[in-house]
Structure 1
Amino acid sequence: MPENSSLPRDELRATVEARRDLGPEYESALVESFLEKVDGAIQARVRAEVAAQTGHGPPPPGPHGVPQYGPPPQKQKQQGDGMIPIALGSLGIGIPLTAIAATQAGPAGLFLAWAGIVVVNIAAALGRRRSR
């Protein structure tokens, strides 16, 4: 058996760990990603076997040492990738905004500042959901 036979096992372990970390709402995306990787590994093995049987030289190795034909597959963006900068930016802006709002406008200003941050995050999440 080729040395890259551990690829599906390693990918499956990583997918299960990611599912534990991210929760069930990302399960379908994780399964799709895992199946694409396994499918790519199978296709690469079949192509390598065909190349070996037809007498053509081995193709250049791709990721994980698996022979690869044609252009490399495009990396698929995970669903939550665009939300991380928004969440971190909200926290970064929220800290000084909290201090300013609390000292200048009191509890009402503090509430208004954080309500604005929450509205921006909800709008971003809904916008990403609609674009899928």
Structure 2
Amino acid sequence: MDTRQDELRRDLDAALQARKELGKEYEPELVDSFLRRLDARLDARLDARVERRVAEQLDDYAPARRHRPRRFGRSGSRLAMVSLVLGIPLTAIATDGGTNGFTGFMGLVVCWTGIVGVNVAAAYGDRRQERRPDPARGEWD
């Protein structure tokens, strides 16, 4: 930290010397130049701090994320709820009020097999999408 203060002190001394040599008419430009350099240093220090804190938080978050059980995403849970709600009237239609014995049972089996199939396909699709690497980020990013 002493080297940063020494650099800042040298920059300030250089700005003051330039003011003495150039005169008061160049004072606003000299002050602006010094403030720009000071602002750039503060930005660099702030960026380094933010990067360090983000890295620390990601390190803290990563182990908890790895051991989390897999759950349906938001779209998967919505699909499951919609399919269950639609399953009730489809069951009534498939069984036809219980008047057709075997054909009603087969309609029920076909109906619920389709509902389960759609939900399994949606869950499998979410899982495959989660494993896929991000195309925007490469090895060198």
Scaled by the length of structure 1, the TM-score of the pair is 0.40
**TM-score scaled by length of structure 2:** 0.38
Larger radius of gyration: 2
